Amino acid sequence: MTEHERNPEEELEKKAENLRRLREAVDNAAFSGDQRDITGELTTVDQHTGDLADATYQRELGETTREVIDEEAAQAEAARQRLAAGTYGTCEVCGRPIPPERLRARPHATLCIECQGKREASRRREES
């Protein structure tokens, strides 16, 4: 079976597994110890503020990355539930089928391309 012939359940499982591995890598890299472990120092008292700021920034970046991964994982799980319920591949807004190309590129998509475009345009207007 080629990649384009994979069924939605396999696509979603692959997505979930990739997200699990990515989250594990982020956790290991960003949250494996405290600042003393990261800097290799016995204390952070005499550390240059730039070094401490860098360590803090790296942790915050790791936390943000983890939040994005968790959101993607929740979307993949919701797609698996839609698959089980028989509503997978149907746009939540207009009810039309989501094109197979979009589902291959983004297996957890809940909107067709047209409705997704309208949502993004609306968000851009709100941010302006």
- What parts of the chain have a pLDDT lower than 50? 1-4
How does pLDDT run across 7-42, given as a tens digit for each residue? 888 888 888 899 889 888 888 876 665 555 555 655
Q: According to the model, what pLDDT value does residue 4 have?
A: 47
CB neighbours of 80 closer than 8 A, spacing ≥ 6?
9, 12, 16
Q: What's the predicted TM-score (pTM) here?
A: 0.65
If one counts every other C-beta atom within 10 angstroms of the C-beta of residue 26, the result is: 18
Q: What tokens appear for 34 in the block?
A: 């405290």
Rg (Cα) of the chain, in Å, rounded?
20
Phi, psi (rounded to 5 degrees) for 76: -65, -40
Burial of 12 per CB tally in 10 Å (0-12, 13-18, 19+): buried
- As a whole number of angstroms, the distance between CA 115 and CA 95 comes to 10
Q: According to the model, what pLDDT value does residue 49 have?
A: 65
3-state secondary structure of 97: strand
